[in-house]
């Protein structure tokens, strides 16, 4: 029996790269699809755009499974851009699989697709809700998840969605990089002392969970799973851990959460009116993420996926510290 | 003659009835029925019949619910629930709610007739349980008396059946029924309505308030409230008075199962009315929801209570068929049967003891040392008892005793026990609000107190006829409403004896109520534990057996409740010079002086006192040091004492056998352990409290993954769950807390303590915290003590408290610490995040020792503790604080 062929969209990102590498190491034939080469040794690069149906169909030809990670993930910008990439891209992936006679789709989503009110404490994954999810990213990812899950069981397709929460790890420029940057310049705020309890996911664990979802697809198709390390920490502890690893000063800037949320709202509006190339310094959504509890019930996820995190928070921070020593933060 | 609303004639059109929150629109209907005048009237009602039929449920009967003034059927919406397989018919009385405004002024009897005509039209046939609230309670009793053949039960909430002649109306109603005030308050404005709704604490949600106000938006629609209030028969010649009197007497004849559920924070139907109802229906089950208001249906889970009660008392599986309740004590090996206080008379009659001290107060009422012999104590008890009977205090009367421990308290308590008056003892440590709730909630007939307590009684409006301890000047007596004093009663008793008429009264029945003890509020509002004479006597025997107390070996009561123990055991008692409301502040010199007064006594203190005694030991002189060293045993109740403290105590009391017991207000002595026992038990999960004292049995209620008991019990070693106990000295029941009593007795023959722990292979019990505080994490169940013990092994940690956040089954563990360097006694303060190194040390240690994962560690100046015992950590407060903080909300001090 020949080894399966698996297409990974968005493999140039940290998580996509980790998934592609893990699959490659297990002997799968891995194809990476994105705009620029991912350049992962042993992984075939297919260059193209997610919004071009033909590109996607070409990439998916002969693939047994698709792990769909590519998305527009930034925290601001016009909604139509998110929609084209996140919803349109997912539609293209589903059509491509259909066109080739079916297969497995692991749709990588986000816990923010569900409407769960402000604080989340010990909840399991609930239904994606595009009407009530917060912000363009969450809304379009919610629609995308509905598109993906709607295709499950049809035309030979088996679909599951996994929603890793706050993925971080060595080499992460999206989140850890920004936090460390801000901390270094003394501009990293802690809302209300940073006491809100949040879940995060070390990248290796998120990649393992995605691979586990692929392996368990016959049993778990049709279900969505939130993925976390299962070790919630206060925002303060999370930031401190990363700052310590990068050997930059810990955050000392204390801001009331209400001020942060208000500031975020104002900033969002200004950025909408005068869009720049940069990310806005703060959005209401981000302020809320950093000032209210977001942690999840992992019992069903672990039982159904037969997966447990391999790297603890402490070990993850140690890996991060090693990486920062090899890639020191400089001005 | 029935027309449904849609087809019938429309009069005084009320338009569409709007939707109501939490009400399935399918149960809201209207109906036209002839009233007592023969006119067709349009009623609105909530009727769950069709809904049950749709679900294929055959109802066990009908709940006929009648609201009061100024509410409507909406009040009873919570009675539609899965675990109540009964058809609810909750009516809006005519002129009220969404029923018709007819302009007729309906008298009480008219309303009863109208209701019977409605139930006839609905073909309601038995079994029917009536449910009544406020003035609707009276209408429902009227229906019950007129329809006895269908009546299966009766539920009344915050109502009143009778106005005693000469007794004034409650204040709120006085105002409302004053002729000048009436139209202004009920119809011109909707003050009456808004006032009623505003009584709830916490306030009702906006949409619920709106739903109550909706049918009464206009003055015309409020007219019914005015007529309803005007029909309150305040005086003897009121037209509705004869009806009310007929019902007030008639209710005495009803033998059906009856439930009274009450919200005591009611300016109208206060506890006085509940007391009156209990007197009329003594077999009623009563549940008072402490801190709830007139709209008890909104403030408490009355529907849940009703569901349980219907199942137990009225339903097909009710205990009318099954075995009736028996107190836990009746399942246990009986203790020696004797009258409480009998040793007093025996020792007084024995020349060897008659003149030796029974009670010594190191600092009595006047600050001087006071000593009372057995002979004098016996005379005093008999004199007070005779004086009490002479003054009209009867067997079965409840006497609230607010006297500081010492000779007076001992005299009054034993006089009560002698004549069979029920002593209500609420600890001053409950604080003024707690004490007030305890005194009011115990419905005392009499209140005997020191002046400070009497001033409080007057200021807080505590019920009961008042007696002082010392004879007060006339002016003070008048000001405090005091009838007489214990001193005076003793004098009259003594005079009767001298006239040749000594106390002549039978000893009380063994199964009659003897005393009501109020527990500390650390586990919710204070609960009154009712003991019978048999149970209380067994309790004294259990403590005496455990400590081997006898007339030769006295006791020092450093913890107030124990001052009452000595006379029952025939052991002399010394009360040290201390503020008994602050047992933790007992000093070594004060203790030494008390010990010296007896020589080789047993010493009782509060657990928290031990630390203070050790800390003040350097103030002892040589004489004091020798005195304290003579103690024969040391006994500390309230919370387990750590071994290292007992070891330290050895330096002060080298000969004392230091016993630390495990017990609770519901069963004062369950197990006991001494230092040798603790050392033998070694390390384990939780605190080892030793083996059962004589006649006590222990079992464990097994818990599921969410920390809830499953119904299975075990006596095998190493099964962790809720601790169950059985003993002849377990209290009979809780006072007026039917559901709480039921919950604590849900394992027949056992008292469920609410504590969690396990038995070991050697039959020793280990206590691991409160069952409610079990940490139900995704990694399994942990007890708070497992986590706390582990955290306390970290060198800089003084004391640790375990809290949880999140839903059961996936809870996260939070640890809040006192550190050696940061501890500030008495100031709970606002916790701060622990330093990274401390957090990591605690996290690692707890993981290694208990297996639990800790998400966050905080430090604080002092952990909150239960004010009475000053030793139990208030873990619920910790969890509340941690919940708020880790949710990202602002939390204040602990």
Contacts of B799 (CB under 8 A, 6+ apart): B788, B792, B817, B818, B823, B863, B873
Please answer yes or no on whether B888 and A291 come within 8 Å at the CB atom: yes
Please answer yes or no on whether B888 and A297 come within 8 Å at the CB atom: no
Residue A98 pLDDT greater than 70, yes or no? yes
Which token pair is A177? 């990089």
3-state helix, strand, coil in chain A (%, to 5): 45, 20, 35
Strands (E), B644-706: 657-664, 667-674, 687-692, 697-703
Q: Are strands B62-66 and B128-133 parallel, antiparallel or unpaired?
A: parallel
Q: Taking CA B487 as the corner, what is the angle to CA B448 and CA B363, rounded to the nearest 5 degrees?
A: 85
Segment A188-199, tens digit of pLDDT: 888 878 899 999
C-beta separation of B28 from B62 below 8 A: no
Alpha-carbon gap: A194 to the closest alpha carbon of chain B (Å): 8
Phi, psi of B657 (to 5 degrees): -85, 115
Within 8 A of A295 by CB-CB distance, chain B residues are: 806, 812
Within 8 A of A240 by CB-CB distance, chain B residues are: 836
Strands (E), B244-305: 258-262, 285-288
CA nearest B881 in A: which residue? A195
Query: Pick from A197, A231, A299: which is nearest to B886 by CB?
Result: A197
Mean pLDDT calculated for residue range B144-165? 89
Please answer yes or no on whether A121 and B833 come within 8 Å at the CB atom: no
Which token pair is B249? 């007497």
Residue B430 DSSP code? G
- pLDDT at position B9, please? 41
- pLDDT at position B177, please? 57
Which token pair is B720? 């962790």
Please answer yes or no on whether B812 and A197 come within 8 Å at the CB atom: yes
C-beta separation of A94 from A57 below 8 A: no
Mean pLDDT calculated for residue range B664-690? 89
Residue A261 pLDDT greater than 80, yes or no? no
Q: Taking CA A218 as the corner, what is the angle to CA A215 and CA A222, rounded to the nearest 5 degrees?
A: 105
Terminal Cα distance for chain B, rounded: 64
Residue B507 pLDDT greater than 90, yes or no? yes
Alpha-carbon span B231 to B135, nearest angstrom: 10
Mean pLDDT calculated for residue range A275-284? 56
Mean pLDDT calculated for residue range B749-773? 92
Phi, psi of B368 (to 5 degrees): -95, 160
Lowest average pLDDT, out of A238-242, A261-265, A279-283, B229-233, goes to A279-283
Contacts of B535 (CB under 8 A, 6+ apart): B327, B329, B514, B728, B729, B730, B731, B732
C-beta separation of B106 from B94 below 8 A: yes
State the pLDDT confidence band at B315, using cuts at 50, 70 and 90. Answer: confident
Bridge partners, B41 (sequence order): B33
- pLDDT at position B70, please? 84
Query: Which among A237, A209, A19, A68 has a CA at the least distance from the CA of A125?
Result: A209
Segment B411-455, tens digit of pLDDT: 999 999 999 999 998 876 667 777 888 888 899 999 999 998 898
Residue B889 DSSP code? -
Please answer yes or no on whether A292 and B887 come within 8 Å at the CB atom: yes
Please answer yes or no on whether B886 and A291 come within 8 Å at the CB atom: no
Q: Measuring CA to CA, how many Å separate B629 from each of A314, B551, B554, B657, B679?
A: 53, 21, 15, 12, 22
Query: Pick from A240, A297, A298: which is nearest to B836 by CB?
Result: A240
- pLDDT at position B184, please? 55
Angle between helices B486-498 and B407-419 (to 10 degrees): 60
Which token pair is B129? 């349980």
Q: Are strands B667-674 and B687-692 parallel, antiparallel or unpaired?
A: antiparallel
Question: SS3 string of A276-324?
Answer: CCCCCCCCHHHHHHCCCCEEECCHHHHHHHCCCCCCCHHHHHHHHHHHH
Bridge partners, A160 (sequence order): A106
- B1 vs B65 pLDDT, higher one: B65
CA nearest A199 in B: which residue? B855
Query: Which among A191, A202, A200, A201 has a CA at the least distance from the CA of A292?
Result: A191
Active site residue A82: no
Alpha-carbon gap: A123 to the closest alpha carbon of chain B (Å): 8
Residue B519 pLDDT greater than 90, yes or no? no
Contacts of B249 (CB under 8 A, 6+ apart): none
C-beta separation of A138 from A113 below 8 A: yes
The pTM of this model reads 0.82
Alpha-carbon gap: A240 to the closest alpha carbon of chain B (Å): 9
Alpha-carbon span B263 to B270, nearest angstrom: 8
Query: Pick from B839, B853, B886: which is nearest to A293 by CB?
Result: B886
- Helical ranges in B24-99 per DSSP H: 49-54
Mean pLDDT calculated for residue range B819-827? 86
Within 8 A of B805 by CB-CB distance, chain A residues are: 121, 197
C-beta separation of B296 from B306 below 8 A: no
Mean pLDDT calculated for residue range B701-726? 95
- pLDDT at position B10, please? 41
C-beta separation of B739 from B287 below 8 A: yes
Please answer yes or no on whether A196 and B839 come within 8 Å at the CB atom: no
Alpha-carbon span B774 to B772, nearest angstrom: 6
- pLDDT at position A278, please? 55
Segment B775-819, tens digit of pLDDT: 999 999 998 888 998 999 999 999 999 999 999 999 999 999 999
Q: Is A292 near chain B, with CB under 8 Å?
A: yes
- The average confidence (pLDDT) of chain A is 88
Angle between helices B374-391 and B486-498 (to 10 degrees): 100
The widest CA-to-CA distance across chain B, in whole angstroms, is 98
Please answer yes or no on whether A119 and B887 come within 8 Å at the CB atom: yes
- B786 vs A206 pLDDT, higher one: A206
Within 8 A of A257 by CB-CB distance, chain B residues are: 888
Please answer yes or no on whether B810 and A122 come within 8 Å at the CB atom: yes
- pLDDT at position B347, please? 94
Within 8 A of A236 by CB-CB distance, chain B residues are: 833
C-beta separation of A85 from A25 below 8 A: no
- pLDDT at position A272, please? 58
- pLDDT at position B819, please? 94
Alpha-carbon gap: B791 to the closest alpha carbon of chain A (Å): 18
Residue B524 pLDDT greater than 70, yes or no? no
Contacts of B392 (CB under 8 A, 6+ apart): none
Please answer yes or no on whether B810 and A234 come within 8 Å at the CB atom: no
Q: Taking CA B36 as the corner, what is the angle to CA B30 and CA B41, rounded to the nearest 5 degrees?
A: 25
Q: Are strands B3-4 and B28-34 parallel, antiparallel or unpaired?
A: antiparallel
Please answer yes or no on whether B888 and A192 come within 8 Å at the CB atom: yes
State the pLDDT confidence band at B181, using cuts at 50, 70 and 90. Answer: low
Query: Pick from B807, B809, B888: which is nearest to A257 by CB?
Result: B888
Contacts of B889 (CB under 8 A, 6+ apart): A192
Residues 298-317 of A with CB under 8 A from B: 298-299
Phi, psi of B447 (to 5 degrees): -135, 120
Bridge partners, B659 (sequence order): B635, B674
Within 8 A of A118 by CB-CB distance, chain B residues are: 888
- pLDDT at position B447, please? 95
Segment B95-127, tens digit of pLDDT: 999 999 998 889 999 999 999 999 999 999 879
Q: Is A197 near chain B, with CB under 8 Å?
A: yes
Residue whose token pair is 């873990």: B875
Query: Pick from A123, A196, A233: which is nearest to B888 by CB?
Result: A196
Q: Which residues of B touch chain A, with CB atoms under 8 Å apart?
A: 778, 805-807, 809-812, 833, 836, 839, 853, 855-856, 885-890
- pLDDT at position B170, please? 54
Query: Pick from A123, A195, A233: which is nearest to B888 by CB?
Result: A195
Which token pair is A29? 């034939």
Query: Helix (H, G, I), strand (E, B), or coil: what is residue B133?
Result: strand
- pLDDT at position A264, please? 64
Q: Which helix (H) or strand (E) holds B409?
A: helix B407-419
- pLDDT at position B799, please? 92
C-beta separation of B760 from B681 below 8 A: yes
Mean pLDDT calculated for residue range B49-58? 93
Residue B122 DSSP code? T
Tell me the count of A-B CB pairs closer than 8 A: 66
- pLDDT at position B1, please? 40
Which token pair is B160? 């009143």
Query: Pick from A234, A244, A299: which is nearest to B778 by CB?
Result: A299
This model of the complex carries an ipTM of 0.90
Segment B352-370, tens digit of pLDDT: 999 999 988 888 667 788 8
The widest CA-to-CA distance across chain A, in whole angstroms, is 60
Which token pair is A6? 């698996």
- The average confidence (pLDDT) of chain B is 88
Query: Which among B819, B850, B847 has a CA at the least distance from the CA of B832?
Result: B819
- Of A137, A242, A285, A307, catalytic: A137
Alpha-carbon gap: A192 to the closest alpha carbon of chain B (Å): 7
Q: What percent of chain B has pLDDT over 90?
A: 59
Residue A271 pLDDT greater than 60, yes or no? no
- pLDDT at position B8, please? 39
CA nearest A124 in B: which residue? B810
Q: Is A203 near chain B, with CB under 8 Å?
A: no
Mean pLDDT calculated for residue range B229-255? 86
CA nearest B886 in A: which residue? A196
Please answer yes or no on whether A195 and B885 come within 8 Å at the CB atom: yes
C-beta separation of B68 from B185 below 8 A: no
Query: Which among B806, B824, B805, B822 has a CA at the least distance from the CA of B814?
Result: B805
Terminal Cα distance for chain A, rounded: 53
Q: Helices (H) and strands (E) in chain B — how many of each?
A: 30, 37
Q: Is A100 near chain B, with CB under 8 Å?
A: no
Residue A128 DSSP code? B
Which token pair is B405? 């421990």
Q: What percent of chain A has pLDDT over 90?
A: 63
Residue B496 pLDDT greater than 70, yes or no? yes
Alpha-carbon gap: A305 to the closest alpha carbon of chain B (Å): 16
- B687 vs B176 pLDDT, higher one: B687
C-beta separation of B670 from B663 below 8 A: yes
Alpha-carbon gap: B810 to the closest alpha carbon of chain A (Å): 6
Residue B33 pLDDT greater than 50, yes or no? yes
Mean pLDDT calculated for residue range B51-55? 93
Alpha-carbon gap: B811 to the closest alpha carbon of chain A (Å): 7
Residue of B811, B835, B885, B888 to mutate for A, most A C-beta atoms under 10 A: B888
Residue whose token pair is 């940690």: B797
Buried b / exposed e over B567-584, threshold 16 CB at 10 Å, is bbbbbbbbbbbbebebbb
Please answer yes or no on whether B810 and A257 come within 8 Å at the CB atom: no
């Amino acid at each position: 029996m020949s080894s399966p062929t698996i297409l990974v969209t968005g493999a140039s990102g940290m998580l996509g790269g980790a998934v592609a590498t893990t699959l490659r190491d297990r002997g799968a034939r891995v194809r990476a699809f994105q705009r620029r080469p991912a350049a992962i040794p042993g992984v075939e690069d297919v260059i193209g755009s997610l919004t071009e149906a033909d590109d996607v169909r070409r990439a998916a030809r002969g693939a047994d499974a698709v792990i769909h990670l590519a998305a527009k993930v930034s925290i601001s910008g016009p909604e139509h851009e998110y929609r084209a990439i996140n919803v349109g891209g997912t539609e293209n992936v589903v059509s491509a699989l259909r066109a080739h006679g079916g297969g497995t789709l692991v749709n990588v989503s986000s816990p923010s697709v569900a409407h769960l009110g402000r604080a989340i404490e010990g909840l399991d994954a609930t239904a994606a809700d595009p009407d009530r999810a917060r912000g363009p990213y969450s809304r379009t990812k919610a629609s995308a998840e509905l598109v993906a899950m709607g295709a499950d069981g049809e035309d030979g397709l088996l679909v599951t969605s996994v929603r890793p929460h706050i993925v971080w790890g060595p080499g992460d420029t999206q989140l850890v990089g920004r936090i460390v940057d801000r901390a270094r310049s003394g501009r990293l705020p802690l809302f209300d002392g940073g006491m809100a309890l949040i879940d995060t996911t070390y990248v290796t664990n998120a990649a393992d969970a995605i691979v586990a979802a692929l392996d368990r697809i016959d049993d778990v198709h049709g279900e969505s799973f939130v993925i976390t390390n299962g070790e919630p920490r206060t925002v303060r502890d999370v930031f401190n851990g990363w700052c310590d690893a990068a050997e930059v000063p810990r955050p000392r800037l204390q801001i009331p959460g209400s001020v942060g949320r208000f500031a975020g709202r104002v900033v969002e509006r200004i950025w909408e009116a005068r869009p720049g190339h940069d990310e806005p310094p703060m959005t209401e959504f981000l302020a809320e993420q950093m000032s209210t509890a977001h942690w999840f019930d992992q019992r069903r996820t672990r039982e159904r996926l037969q997966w447990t995190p391999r790297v603890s928070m402490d070990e993850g921070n140690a890996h991060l510290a090693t990486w920062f020593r090899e890639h020191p933060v400089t001005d | 003659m029935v027309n449904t609303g849609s087809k019938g004639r429309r009069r005084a059109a009320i338009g569409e009835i709007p939707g109501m929150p939490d009400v399935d629109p399918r149960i809201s209907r209207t109906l036209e029925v002839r009233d007592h005048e023969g006119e067709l009237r349009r009623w609105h009602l909530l009727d769950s019949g069709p809904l049950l039929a749709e679900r294929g449920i055959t109802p066990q009967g009908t709940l006929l619910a009648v609201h009061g003034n100024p509410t409507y059927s909406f009040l009873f919406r919570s009675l539609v629930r899965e675990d109540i397989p009964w058809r609810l018919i909750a009516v809006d009385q005519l002129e009220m709610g969404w029923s018709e405004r007819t302009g007729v002024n309906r008298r009480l009897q008219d309303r009863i007739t109208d209701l019977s005509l409605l139930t006839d039209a609905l073909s309601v046939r038995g079994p029917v349980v009536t449910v009544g609230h406020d003035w609707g309670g009276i209408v429902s009793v009227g229906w019950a008396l007129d329809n006895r053949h269908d009546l299966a039960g009766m539920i009344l909430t915050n109502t009143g059946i009778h106005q005693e002649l000469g007794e004034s109306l409650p204040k709120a109603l006085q105002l409302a029924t004053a002729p000048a005030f009436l139209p202004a308050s009920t119809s011109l404005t909707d003050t009456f309505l808004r006032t009623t709704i505003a009584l709830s604490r916490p306030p009702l949600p906006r949409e619920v308030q709106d739903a109550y106000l909706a049918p009464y938006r206009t003055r015309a629609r409020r007219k019914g409230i005015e007529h309803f209030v005007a029909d309150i028969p305040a005086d003897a010649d009121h037209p509705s008075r004869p009806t009310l009197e007929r019902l007030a007497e008639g209710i005495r004849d009803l033998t059906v199962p009856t439930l009274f559920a009450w919200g005591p924070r009611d300016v109208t139907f206060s506890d006085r009315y509940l007391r009156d109802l209990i007197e009329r229906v003594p077999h009623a089950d009563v549940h008072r929801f402490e801190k709830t208001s007139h709209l008890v249906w909104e403030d408490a889970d009355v529907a849940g209570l009703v569901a349980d009660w219907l199942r137990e008392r009225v339903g097909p599986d009710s205990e009318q068929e099954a075995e009736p309740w028996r107190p836990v004590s009746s399942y246990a090996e009986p203790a020696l049967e004797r009258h409480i206080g009998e040793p007093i008379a025996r020792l007084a009659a024995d020349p060897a003891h008659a003149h030796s001290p029974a009670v010594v107060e190191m600092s009595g009422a006047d600050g001087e040392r006071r000593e009372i012999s057995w002979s004098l104590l016996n005379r005093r008890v008999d004199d007070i008892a005779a004086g009490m009977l002479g003054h009209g205090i009867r067997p079965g009367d409840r006497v609230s005793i607010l006297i500081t421990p010492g000779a007076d308290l001992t005299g009054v308590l034993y006089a009560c026990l002698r004549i069979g008056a029920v002593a209500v003892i609420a600890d001053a440590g409950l604080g003024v609000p707690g004490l007030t709730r305890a005194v009011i909630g115990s419905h005392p007939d009499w209140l005997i107190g020191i002046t400070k307590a009497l001033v409080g009684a007057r200021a807080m409006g505590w019920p009961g006829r008042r007696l002082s301890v010392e004879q007060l000047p006339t002016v003070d007596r008048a000001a405090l409403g005091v009838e007489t004093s214990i001193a005076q009663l003793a004098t009259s008793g003594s005079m009767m004896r001298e006239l040749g008429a000594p106390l002549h009264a039978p000893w009380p029945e063994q199964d009659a109520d003897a005393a009501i003890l109020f527990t500390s509020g650390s586990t919710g509002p204070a609960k009154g534990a009712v003991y019978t004479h048999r149970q209380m006597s067994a309790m004294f025997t259990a403590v005496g057996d455990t400590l081997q107390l006898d007339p030769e070996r006295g006791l020092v009561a450093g913890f107030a409740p124990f001052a009452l123990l000595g006379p029952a055991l025939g052991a002399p008692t010394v009360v040290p010079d201390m503020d008994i409301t602050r047992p933790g502040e007992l000093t070594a010199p004060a203790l030494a002086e008390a010990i010296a007064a007896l020589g080789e006594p047993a010493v009782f203190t509060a657990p928290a006192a031990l630390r203070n005694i050790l800390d003040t030991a350097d103030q002892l002189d040589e004489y004091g040091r020798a005195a304290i060293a003579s103690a024969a045993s040391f006994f500390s109740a309230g919370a387990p004492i750590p071994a290292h403290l007992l070891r330290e105590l050895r330096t002060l009391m080298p000969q004392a056998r230091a016993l630390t017991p495990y017990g609770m207000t519901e069963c004062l002595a369950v197990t006991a352990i001494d230092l040798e026992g603790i050392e033998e038990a070694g390390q384990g999960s939780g605190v080892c409290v030793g083996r059962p004292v004589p006649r006590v049995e222990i079992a464990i209620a097994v818990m599921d993954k969410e920390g809830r008991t499953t119904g299975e019990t075990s006596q095998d070693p190493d099964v962790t769950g809720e601790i169950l106990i059985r003993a002849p000295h377990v209290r009979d029941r809780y006072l007026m807390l039917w559901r709480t009593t039921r919950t604590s007795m849900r394992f027949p023959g056992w008292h469920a303590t609410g504590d969690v722990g396990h038995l070991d292979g050697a039959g020793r019990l280990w206590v691991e915290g409160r069952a409610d505080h079990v940490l139900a994490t995704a990694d399994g169940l942990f007890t708070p003590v497992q986590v706390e013990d582990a955290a306390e092994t970290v060198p800089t940690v003084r004391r640790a408290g375990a809290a949880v956040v999140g839903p059961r089954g996936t809870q996260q563990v939070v640890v809040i610490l006192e550190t050696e360097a940061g501890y500030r006694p008495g100031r709970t303060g606002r916790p701060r995040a622990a330093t990274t190194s401390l957090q990591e040390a605690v996290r690692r240690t707890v993981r290694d020792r208990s297996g639990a994962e800790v998400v966050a560690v905080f430090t604080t100046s002092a952990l909150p503790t239960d004010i009475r015992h000053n030793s139990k950590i208030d873990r619920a407060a910790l969890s509340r604080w941690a919940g708020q903080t880790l949710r990202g909300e602002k939390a204040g001090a602990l």
